[in-house]
């Protein structure tokens, strides 16, 4: 998933914001969980729910479905609390609170930032490899993003 994409105007150096803050892809099927900035008409974060998460069925942006209660409260839900500076929020996944992201504006675009492989980074995608069966389990997680300082791609893989 690309970070900033070329603007429709075609102007040199013109960029527009990513469609999503980040997404979670899974080995189980092609459904994707999308996480989007939730801002009001004046561009400020919705303080009661600054990030919204939902399914893109088969990865199709036209086939959107809300997360169910269990998915929101356990697997894919996030909790946001005001950050250290104005206009930022700390974001943690309800499934694991070990990694904290910060959502904020960067160059006019909403982004989720955190650590990837020890670098300050913009989070773009998480891939979860799971083993299905009577007791499904996560085999590994891959994190993809961009270095905040250089823009270079970053990658980290870990076993939970």
pLDDT digits (tens, 9 = 90+) for 15-48: 689 999 999 999 999 999 999 999 988 888 999 9
Residue 115 belongs to a domain: yes
How high is the pLDDT of residue 116?
97
Q: Are 110 and 21 in contact (CB under 8 A)?
A: yes
**pLDDT tens across 45-79, in order?**
999 999 999 999 999 999 999 999 999 998 899 99
Q: Is residue 2 part of a domain?
A: no
Identify whether 54 is part of a domain: yes
What's the pLDDT tens digit per position in 134-147? 888 899 999 999 99
Residue 146 lies in a domain: yes
How many domains does the structure of the chain reveal?
1
Residue 8 belongs to some domain of the structure:
no
Domain residue limits at 139: 15-158
Domain annotation covers residue 3: no
Residue 141 lies in a domain: yes
C-alpha span between 146 and 135 (Å, rounded): 34
* 5 found inside a domain: no
Cβ neighbours of residue 80 closer than 8 Å, sequence gap 6 or more: 49, 50, 51, 89, 90, 91, 103
């Amino acid at each position: 998933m690309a970070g900033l994409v070329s603007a429709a105007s075609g102007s040199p150096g013109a960029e527009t914001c990513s469609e999503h803050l980040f997404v979670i892809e899974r080995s189980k099927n092609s459904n994707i969980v999308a996480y989007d900035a939730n801002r009001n008409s004046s561009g400020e974060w919705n303080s009661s729910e600054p990030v919204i998460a939902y399914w893109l069925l088969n990865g199709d942006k036209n086939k959107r479905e809300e997360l169910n209660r269990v998915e929101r409260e356990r697997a894919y839900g996030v909790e946001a609390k005001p950050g250290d500076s104005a206009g930022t929020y700390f974001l943690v996944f309800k499934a694991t609170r070990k990694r904290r992201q910060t959502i904020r504006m960067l160059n006019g675009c909403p982004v989720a930032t955190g650590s990837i492989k020890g670098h300050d980074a913009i989070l773009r995608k998480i891939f979860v490899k799971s083993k299905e069966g009577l007791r499904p389990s996560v085999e590994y997680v891959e994190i993809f993003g961009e270095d905040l300082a250089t823009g270079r791609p970053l990658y980290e893989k870990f076993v939970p």
